[in-house]
């Protein structure tokens, strides 16, 4: 038996063992009892909803537009003028420059490129 066959056999055995471990790890969780959820009847749900807020107040609030939302100011900064935006531009520019440099200075010169 060659060493290559032995390596592949051990590698495949490890992959199968790892897959079985991952697959069977959730079995005890599936066999556990579900958490106890108190049963809610229709009457208790309606009573709870009615006690929280009257329907008239909710519909009046929906009819009027919200005054607390700030409108976008015309002098608001663009995303790319903020420090985070400048960092994004720098990272993307650096990555692009490295990709171009790497493509031009590759050690392997083949005709397939």
This prediction has a pTM of 0.32
Q: What is the pLDDT of residues 43-90, one digit of tens each?
A: 888 888 778 766 666 666 666 665 555 555 556 678 888 889 899 999
Show the DSSP H helices in the chain as ranges: 3-24, 27-31, 42-52, 55-63, 83-104
Q: What is the pLDDT of residues 18-47, one digit of tens each?
A: 888 888 877 776 677 777 777 788 888 888
Three-state secondary structure call for residue 47: helix
Neighbours of 23 (CB within 10 A): 9
């Amino acid at each position: 038996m060659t060493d290559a066959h032995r390596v592949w056999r051990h590698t495949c055995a490890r992959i199968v063992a790892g897959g079985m471990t991952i697959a069977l790890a959730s079995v005890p969780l599936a066999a556990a009892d579900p958490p106890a959820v108190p049963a809610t009847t229709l009457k208790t749900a309606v009573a709870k909803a009615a006690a929280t807020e009257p329907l008239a107040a909710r519909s009046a609030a929906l009819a009027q537009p919200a005054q607390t939302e700030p409108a976008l100011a015309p002098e608001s900064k663009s995303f790319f003028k903020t420090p985070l935006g400048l960092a994004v531009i720098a990272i993307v520019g650096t990555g692009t420059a490295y990709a171009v440099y790497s493509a031009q200075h590759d050690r392997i010169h083949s005709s397939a490129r």
